[in-house]
Amino acid sequence: MQRKNPDANNPWQNARIKAPAQRDPAPPERAPAHPRQDEAKPPPAQRRGEEVRVYGRNACLAVFARRAEDVRKVYLSEARIAGFKPVLAWCVQHRVGYRVVENEDLDRLSESQHHEGVCFEVRRHAPPSLSTLLQGIAQDRPALLIWLDGVGNPHNVGALLRSAANFGTRGAILPAGAPALSGAAMRVAEGGAEAVPLAQLRAGEDGFALLREAGFAIAATVPRAGEELYKSELPPRLALILGAEGEGMSMDLIRRADLRLTIPGTGAVESLNVSASAAVLFAEYWRQHH
């Protein structure tokens, strides 16, 4: 496959609840149907960005499964108690507060009506650098990474991470200065945000050089005039750059990429939604390398 490589030489108020160790969790504190105004506000730590409110059944269960130690407080509706018994038992054992609340309270806590009856306050961790992410990827194995250029809509980011988790993507690269992953994105990802490691470029860090040094080819995804996806032999170690809808990705990233990929179609629409494009690209990579 012919490649263009201009840079060929560059690479997460505890309620202290005690119960006998082998019994079901004690009845939790129940919130009033209409909490005071100040109760609806995020705690100061969350406003500083140290915590994120994760909501949605699968998103919350994924956080609990992978990093329960980061769970600070649990809010859930009465209908969710049975399904979250292991979580509540863990809260009792580790003295983490939990409350049964009404759906209206969950609407306020999550700032969404799509909470599915549960919301966690979770410690937030800053994403590592790209170099740190690359150190955890074996040099002699196929690997797919995604580089998000200006993709900020939480529904697009969440859907994209859900597909990335399904197809075994090894990580997602965020640009320097990009906002932290939101609770809305984590809900849409349905647990995928816990399965795909995030890295963030540092100011002045050359992502192209670091990726090439780790043996990755870099592909820009463009709506037209690129190499047709299904006719391309995709490199086994590949970083896919995905741009925001509307403005697309920066011309500098397109120019510096090793190859440009286009998803074929009828032309009846200008392009696919970025999360739909990502799913098509991930699936083709999976087909070729698994």
User: In whole angstroms, how far apart are CA 75 and each of 1, 108, 215, 234?
Assistant: 53, 11, 45, 45
**88, 123, 158 — which closes off a domain?**
123
Separation of alpha carbons 266 and 247, rounded Å: 22
Using DSSP's 3-state secondary structure scheme, residue 148 falls into strand
117 and 66 in a common domain: yes
Total number of domains in the chain: 2
Q: What is the CATH number of the domain that holds 135?
A: 3.40.1280.10
Q: Tens-digit pLDDT profile for the chain (290 aa)? A: 444 444 444 432 333 333 333 344 444 554 443 333 334 344 443 444 589 999 999 999 999 999 999 999 999 999 999 999 999 999 999 999 999 999 999 999 999 999 999 999 999 999 999 999 999 999 989 999 999 998 989 999 999 999 999 999 999 999 998 999 999 999 999 999 999 999 999 988 899 999 999 999 999 999 888 999 999 999 999 999 999 765 678 889 999 999 999 999 998 988 899 999 999 999 999 999 99
At 39 the pLDDT is 40
At 270 the pLDDT is 83
Q: Largest Cα–Cα distance of the chain, in whole Å?
A: 67
What's the domain range around 167? 130-289
Global pTM?
Answer: 0.81
Separation of alpha carbons 109 and 178, rounded Å: 24
At 112 the pLDDT is 95
Q: Which of 228, 213, 214, 212 is nearest to 260 (CA)?
A: 228
Q: What is the CATH number of the domain that holds 78?
A: 3.30.1330.30
Using DSSP's 3-state secondary structure scheme, residue 102 falls into coil
Q: Which residue has the tokens 């849409």?
A: 188
Domain membership of residue 11 (yes or no) is no
Using DSSP's 3-state secondary structure scheme, residue 203 falls into coil
Separation of alpha carbons 58 and 120, rounded Å: 12
Domain membership of residue 64 (yes or no) is yes
Domain membership of residue 146 (yes or no) is yes
Separation of alpha carbons 254 and 250, rounded Å: 7
264 and 139 in a common domain: yes
At 185 the pLDDT is 97
**What secondary structure does DSSP assign to 255-283, as a single string?**
HH-SEEEE----SSSS---HHHHHHHHHH
Q: Which of 64, 57, 5, 13 is nearest to 194 (CA)?
A: 64
Separation of alpha carbons 43 and 13, rounded Å: 10
180 and 65 in a common domain: no
Torsion angle of alpha carbons 221, 227, 230, 235, nearest 10°?
-70
Going by C-beta distance under 8 Å and a sequence separation of 6 or more, which residues neighbour residue 251?
none
**78, 105, 123 — which closes off a domain?**
123
150 and 221 in a common domain: yes
